[in-house]
Amino acid sequence: MSQSPKTLIAGNWKMNGLTKDLAQFEAVVTALNEKPAPDCQVLLCPPVTILAGASQICQNSALQTGAQNTHVAESGAHTGDIGATMLRDAGADFIIVGHSERRADHQETDGVVNAKARSCLNAGLIPIICVGETHAERTSGLALTVVEHQLNGSVPDFDEGQEIVIAYEPVWAIGTGLVPDTNDITNMHAAIREWLVTRFGERGKGVRILYGGSLKPSNAAEILPIPNVNGGLIGGASLKSEDFLGIVYTV
């Protein structure tokens, strides 16, 4: 993997989106066709109900699709669950794992997140592994410690030829309009890079570290150029193609 990885702009639609909203995928595909963003890999993760439809729209385009969660097992007696191979079959290239909303809503521990990330790798998919501190942890000066602890528990080993992505998302910045100041993002991303290089050596330099939490067209030009910020994970501003493309075209 190259030492300065390509910027990844990834949208996370969360529990939003009906069939009619596939029009947003069509709009992004058309825009990227007409005005390519060659320095940027572009990904949208819709709810699983429209993943296959979205992936069909994205075929042979510069827009890729991903999922927001996976079961740890490939298949089996797990009513209502979906495994990584099934998500790949529906067209996913990436799967978000360990988002703070899943850690909170479904009590996902670092161990579970680690197992989910491994199941993505086993299915030939790229896990986007989310970490981030709460507001209380940030104000008590524990942000770096908490994130390091999450990385230790959540990030699996990966082989040559496989890829992982880390997303740093301060919980207090998600959906709130609040963002950490530039210095705090710089320091956290540098610490995550150091952790990756300590753990994986040279390969750790090629792992992309995304920033997520209230990233918008209006702040993207300030946040995305920060050293070791290799892209963004975007919730609210990924739902409308104009906002999402506004971020893509700042890269």
**Residues labelled catalytic:** 99, 169
Please, are residues 249 and 62 in contact by the beta-carbon 8 Å criterion?
no
Please, are residues 44 and 63 in contact by the beta-carbon 8 Å criterion?
yes
Could you say which of 12, 64, 69, 154 contacts ligand PGA (CB under 6 A)? 12
Question: 88 or 103: whose CB is closer to ligand PGA?
Answer: 103
Residue 181 gets which letter from DSSP? -
45 touching ligand PGA, by CB under 6 A = no
174 touching ligand PGA, by CB under 6 A = yes
φ, ψ at 239 (rounded to 5°): -75, -25
214 touching ligand PGA, by CB under 6 A = yes
Could you say which of 212, 223, 229, 241 contacts ligand PGA (CB under 6 A)? 212
215 touching ligand PGA, by CB under 6 A = yes
* Distance (Å, whole) CA 165 – CA 137: 23
Cα within 13 Å of Cα(153), Cβ side: 14
Question: 14 or 85: whose CB is closer to ligand PGA?
Answer: 14
Question: 132 or 156: whose CB is closer to ligand PGA?
Answer: 132
* Distance (Å, whole) CA 116 – CA 106: 13
φ, ψ at 75 (rounded to 5°): -165, 175
| Minimal distance, residue 240 CB to ligand PGA, in Å | 12
Encoded tokens for 16:
């939003």
**Residue 128: how many CB atoms within 10 A of its CB?**
29
213 touching ligand PGA, by CB under 6 A = yes
234 touching ligand PGA, by CB under 6 A = yes
| Minimal distance, residue 66 CB to ligand PGA, in Å | 12
| Minimal distance, residue 202 CB to ligand PGA, in Å | 29
What spatial distance separates the first Cα and last Cα of the chain, rounded to whole Å? 20
The residues that touch ligand PGA, with contacts defined as CB under 6 A, are 12, 169, 174-175, 212-215, 233-237
